[in-house]
């Protein structure tokens, strides 16, 4: 019996009908541009969230998480609508709502993606539930459909204005590859992401910092991009070249100009990063990571002291490149390092954090892993 079966049995006194798993993600490059119709280059990490579900013959929903002491939350299916108050269970319920499920269920969650570390435990949770429901009820949704529906759930039901990247990569990633995702039409290309054969690895540094600016700061950045789009009379920043931006600079205020400058240059960096990966030119990839970080720090202003210290310390210890990842104002950074320098890099970062009196960071590494899948079906 697998672990998720065991907790399901202990919690609900029965066995699940279906179990699905979906991973968290790290975005190699292409930050804060999914909502501007840009290209992004994330990969799925090995840590995944499991969702085990059993249908009921009434209209009751019972839901529990191993990360929330298996406490059962019980409610009526008909009450599951945006506006219903709640805590963590709003994430899986947002999927039940967005997929239009019309049947009672018991749902057990067991997540192995660190929560709130910028590794998208929220998308892992949503996509594990969505994958299980899609198969359980033979809904026939494509992966693109599921990405759009889970994003809609997080936007409208949970109330988080996230872009489309996290759910897309959690659903569509392939082991060994980063996923070049065009956020305009959700078309994808798998780009082989093999740093190990060059003696390198990607170190993930969870700064454990969470600055309260997060929600308002994210919305404010999106609003700046939207007002620039309307002033420039275009439909998205994807249409804009750097040249065109310079020519129309006077139409924008200084803040809008800086935000758009990040978006336009970041989209180009993603395409260069794909070329660098294909050519196994990891020095170039490192430089692109550094440029991305500088752009997020200086133009988009979503970094924070902890992220900057993590990046600077990693570079001081010999990293080929490093940058903040995710929404910013805390969360994680990544550093492309030589495997032989892992211990030294970690200790340099730890020392720098201690000197600044920051909370101690946590470290992870991960190879690019498989997207969501059905683990077992009764």
- The smaller minimum CB distance to Mg ion, of residues 120 and 348, is found at 120
Distance, in Å, from the CA atom of 134 to the CA atom of 223, rounded to the nearest integer, reads 34
DSSP 3-state assignment of 243?
A: helix
The yes or no reply on residue 27 touching Mg ion (CB under 5 A) is no
- How far apart, in whole angstroms, are the C-alpha atoms of residue 150 and residue 76? 21
Q: Write out the catalytic residue numbers.
A: 166
If the CB atoms of residues 94 and 303 are measured against Mg ion, the closer one turns out to be 94
Contact 108, 8 (CB under 8 A): yes
What CA–CA distance (Å, rounded) separates 292 from 286? 10
DSSP state of 342: H
CB of 121 to ligand ADP, least distance (A): 3
- 113-152: contacts with Mg ion (CB under 5 A): 120, 122
| Contacting residues toward ligand ADP, per CB under 6 A | 49, 65, 67-68, 88, 91, 109, 111, 115-122, 125
CB nearest ligand ADP: which residue?
111
Nearer CB in complex with Mg ion: 115/294: 115
Query: Do 149 and 123 form a contact (C-beta atoms < 8 A)?
Result: no
Q: Enumerate residues 52-111 that contact Mg ion by CB under 5 A.
A: none
Q: How many whole angstroms separate alpha carbon 44 and alpha carbon 65?
A: 22
Residue nearest to Mg ion (CB): 122
Residues 6+ apart with CB under 8 A from 249: 257
Residue 11 interacts, among Mg ion, ligand ADP, none and using kind-specific CB cut-offs from 5 to 8 Å, with: none
Q: How many residues bind Mg ion (CB under 5 A)?
A: 2
Please identify, using beta-carbon distances, which residue of 12 and 43 lies nearer to Mg ion. Answer: 43
Shortest separation between residue 176's beta carbon and Mg ion, angstroms: 24
**Residue 369 interacts with, from ligand ADP, Mg ion, none (CB under 5-8 Å by kind):** none
Cα–Cα distance measured from residue 204 to residue 202, given in angstroms and rounded to the nearest whole number: 6
Question: Given the rule CB under 5 A, which residues bind Mg ion?
Answer: 120, 122
């Amino acid at each position: 019996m697998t672990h998720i079966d065991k907790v399901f049995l202990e919690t609900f006194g029965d066995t699940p009908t279906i179990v699905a798993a979906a991973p968290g993600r790290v975005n190699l490059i292409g930050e804060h541009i999914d909502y501007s119709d840009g290209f992004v280059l994330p990969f799925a990490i090995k840590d995944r969230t499991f969702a085990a579900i059993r249908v009921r013959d009434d209209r009751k929903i019972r839901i529990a998480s191993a990360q929330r002491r298996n406490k059962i939350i019980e409610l009526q299916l008909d009450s599951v609508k945006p506006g219903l108050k709640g805590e963590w269970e709003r994430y899986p319920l947002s999927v039940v709502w967005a997929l239009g499920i019309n049947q009672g269920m018991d749902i057990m969650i067991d997540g192995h993606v660190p929560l709130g570390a910028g590794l998208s435990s929220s998308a892992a949770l949503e996509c594990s539930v969505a994958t299980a429901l899609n198969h359980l009820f033979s809904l026939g949704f494509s992966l693109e459909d599921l990405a759009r529906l889970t994003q809609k759930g997080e936007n409208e039901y949970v109330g988080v204005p996230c872009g489309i990247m996290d759910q897309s990569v959690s659903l569509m990633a392939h082991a060994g590859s980063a996923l070049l995702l065009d956020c305009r039409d959700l078309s994808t290309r798998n780009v082989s992401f093999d740093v190990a054969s060059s003696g390198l690895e990607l170190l993930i540094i969870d700064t454990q910092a969470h600055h309260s600016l997060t929600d308002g700061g994210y919305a404010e950045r999106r609003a700046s991009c939207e007002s620039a789009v309307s002033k420039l009379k275009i439909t998205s920043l994807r249409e804009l070249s750097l040249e065109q931006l310079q020519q129309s600079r006077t139409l924008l205020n200084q803040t809008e100009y800086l935000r758009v400058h990040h978006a336009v240059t970041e989209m180009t960096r993603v395409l260069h990063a794909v070329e660098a990966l294909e050519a196994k030119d990891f020095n170039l990839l490192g430089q692109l990571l550094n440029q991305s970080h500088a752009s997020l720090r200086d133009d988009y202003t979503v970094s924070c002291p902890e992220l900057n210290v993590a990046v600077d310390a990693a570079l001081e210890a010999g990293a080929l490149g490093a940058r903040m990842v995710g929404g910013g104002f805390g969360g994680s950074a990544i550093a492309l390092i030589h495997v032989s320098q892992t211990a030294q890099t970690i200790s340099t970062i730890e020392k720098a954090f201690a000197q600044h009196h920051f909370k101690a960071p946590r470290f992870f590494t991960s190879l690019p892993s498989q997207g969501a899948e059905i683990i077992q079906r009764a």
